[in-house]
Structure 1
């Protein structure tokens, strides 16, 4: 259990449900809870800074014959490399179609054909075309836009913008509140304890802990680390998915060249023009993401700068069908109609996170978790493409219904009005960049024991320099958990590749479960051992 390092003792009590985060899972949960009163904690202006808005592919759902939820389940199990919770996969895929219909009713303009049917795309490791898209590559942004419009019109939902959570308040093993502070690094306030009717964490993953990432700048594992420091069990922390085709154009974060491009026939080549994926996997460019990411990484390490070639498959259609990709290419002076697109593997999605049960409950009483900060068991060692937004929807609703069942009938709907005082502590930007470089260098696409131990030592050093900053401690906690879990898993499975343990320990794997205390103990032993 942790308390903020610079607390003032100021407390706000409210009957509203406190939702930490403002992405798809948070918005959907808030709307599901209506008319029960909610206050959402959003570090940025609503709609900005959330990974959901950057998702290009779409939402995976079996929308009709010959596809089925059972086939979707099988593909999820296969992609997850032996560590998917089968009950979770069956539950999520069974509910998928209903969530597409709900989003449609809420105003999401999914792509439709002339007969009104949903346009479906096939992505890697899917047996059928089952990814429902919006304007080609703008699913996340358009779904968020539709939900935000409804949220803005819902009287029961209050949004605190420019505010972030820094710690959980735990009393007698139960989460009783969230410490909040302003998110502006130049005007960080002292934290205030916000105690609501219930607490839901929906604050994103950890991709920004890596130097090369497709995630928004603020998504750096803070919510996972905050829960871990409070005592929650973290599951599958070692499984970080690297997207194979981030556009390698020097931007931070790196723009994404959606997998749907490969679903439409785009191919990967190196700088000599050689198409290299057919020699790597029978499914070539549509192999599971971990396979493609390692192949891209190997080409990069060999100096054969990899590229995505959309010219024959799409030609000028890329400009209209994939406008986000076309816009990013234009910024880099690339004409994808005539030119190939340089790509690199980038940290994209964290399969691990705060361990939850089938009802979205964490191991700490009074705490629910949904979205990328959670680890439900759906993704296993390697997330099936476009299952991320689907999981956010399914568990956003599950958590909301579970929370609603605990609420009192009479509720005070007064809005929360925090009065922040100056004096908070923001992370040192140089320390954050050093942490990101450490993760990329030693806990990236491929790993080994020596590098993971080096990472744990460097993380400990950086943490010691920032030990009065809760935001950095949350980042370093998640980084420590990823590296520690990766060191403990002495095999290669899914997105976790160990050069010193290249084989998997059997077809069926075991999920990992780790507490912050366990990770700290392992790190301390490594720091004290120079070997």
Structure 2
């Protein structure tokens, strides 16, 4: 990415010496599953920890998660089976060591949650209830309060976090940028500059920074993500010189409630796991002809099949049929309540559904310890690219990844703190940005147009010409937005969305194949020369590539 997207290292002008200074061993940016689990681990090991939450814990992608946490706890399942299902969903781009690590450590993380008081659903005999979701060939998804797994997980982790010594929690605190001693790529991360409505700008200096800032769903007009999911962490890391990987891969959830004027409320994949059908306008099950697993095919297959079915029949939605599912209201109380708001009864009515942007598969590239190629910066959760998900995430592996890599990065950060002795003092950092004399365009219009352009041109099905146009549109908006200085989060978020939207569009234009969640209409399937991770870093005109070596046959 060249020109406008490369010119600015920081979003705002500042002199670090003139701002309030805060010091800690470990700074965790993000309070979802990965961030909370990392902070718990680091704090328990004796490190001083600060956790930043952009909003409240109720407005994280974790809290919005419905389905559950995948893991092997039953004798009729196996680690190897979970491993193979993950590889199959990932369509040839999974890094097998990352997959093996997560599925092997996952059961211990789930049992740990039980010890910490997470209220998983249980049957009449007290055994854990277990469900199945798309792409899984076994029942291994554990849920809470039917369809409120994320909310209960967030509660459990937050209570544990607040009872952990050495941890400070700052909510409604916006991280603008990661701090480095110079603008050169490779300079170490020393913390972050933050903004709080009450306390203003602050410098938070840390020996290690863990970026766990979540996803980017707000890049798209149609999304299941909460409003804070504006790709801030990805943009911050890119500006700080970290390598991002596989940015073309955005997962679209197949089933969100589609009603005019309503938000895109998620209808959990677990609903199809309980036997719900997808029907066309004639009320026929079209997925029977699309994949051997029908409605339980991997998400990329189902989302793409819905789009193509709509192209054949017309209209804006297909139907989800739950009428034959016994006890739907008790199994999915949250979804039932949401449907009731629109006078829909799942025991009697068909539910109109349509795909929406759900999960950012690409992210900041890291190793199996969460370490990036920038010293002092670790990543965990949705913002990271660990290689676990490949080209398409397997359902309910995201919360699992956050738990596993949260613990790993928290332990690594605490070890660094213990090894480094006394904290060093602050470094003089000056961001000198002059006011722009270029023309102005309305910021709200830019954001709205960006989200619409991403949905229409960088969505579920993509074409080379439209992708090229999307890249040019983003460049145009960036020319009159990234040159400006804003003093509030809406402006900073929009700038971040332009940076990351351009990364997604450029990666999608480069990847001339159809694989997993990335579908190019000109190409029918995967192309061997693209069985690589595409790696992008600030200042580099073209991506580097890293070949994926796969031993398993998938």
**TM-score normalised by L of structure 1:** 0.90
- Residue 444 of structure 1 corresponds to 459
2:352 counterpart SS class: strand
Tell me what 2:50 maps to: 39
Q: Say if 1:232 and 1:66 are closer, same or farther in 2 by CA, change over 3 A.
A: same
CA offset digits 1:1-29 (Å, max 9, x no partner):
82342324325141341111111111111
Question: What is the CA distance between 1:36 and its match in structure 2?
Answer: 2.0
* C-alpha contact (below 8 Å) 1:178/1:193 kept by paired residues: yes
Contact 1:81/1:508 (CA < 8 Å) preserved in 2? Answer: no
Matched, 1:497 2:519: yes
- CA gap of 1:190–1:149, structure 2 versus 1, over 3 A, is closer
Match of 1:466 among 472, 475, 481: 481
- Equivalent positions of 1:39-118 (< 5 A) are 39-45=50-56, 47-118=57-128
Is 2:230 aligned against 1:220? Answer: yes
Distance 1:21 1:28 in 2: 11
Unaligned runs of 5+ in 2: 1-7, 424-434, 437-441, 487-491, 545-554
- Tell me if the contact between 1:82 and 1:507 (Cα under 8 Å) persists in the aligned partners: no
Shift of residue 520 of structure 1? 8.7
Alignment of 1:35-434 (within 5 A): 35-45=46-56, 47-171=57-181, 173-182=187-196, 191-250=201-260, 253-301=263-311, 302-304=313-315, 305-314=317-326, 317-408=327-418, 428-434=443-449
Kept in 1: contact 2:535–2:543 (CA 8 A):
no
SS at match of 2:309: helix
Gaps of 5+ in 1: 413-423, 523-531
Match for residue 487 of structure 1? 509
SS in structure 2 of the partner of residue 198 of structure 1: strand
Cα RMSD after superposing both structures: 2.2
Question: Quick check: 247-256 or 444-453, which moved more?
Answer: 247-256
The structural deviation recorded for 1:84 is: 0.1
| Aligned position for 1:17 | 26
Q: List per-residue Cα deviations over 1:452-502 (Å, max 9, x = no partner).
A: 111111111222222224432221111111111111100000000001122
In the superposition, relative to structure 1, how do residues 375 and 357 fare at CA in structure 2: closer, same or farther (>3 Å)? Answer: same
Q: Do the aligned partners of residues 519 and 501 (structure 1) sit closer, same or farther apart at CA in structure 2, a change above 3 Å counting?
A: farther
For 2:83 and 2:334, the matched residues in 1 are separated by: 30
2:524 equivalent to 1:510: no
Aligned residues: 503
**What's the TM-score, normalizing by structure 2?**
0.87
Contact 1:81 1:381 in 2 (8 A): yes
Deviation at 1:513, TM superposition (A): 1.2
Secondary structure at 1:174 match in 2: coil
Counterpart CA distance in 1 for 2:504 and 2:274 is: 34
CA contact (8 A) 1:229 1:474 kept: no
The CA deviation at 1:356 is: 0.5
Partner secondary structure for residue 124 of structure 1: coil
Q: How far apart are residue 31 of structure 1 and its match?
A: 0.9
Higher alpha-carbon deviation: 254-263 or 455-464: 455-464
Question: Equivalent residue of 1:268, what SS?
Answer: strand
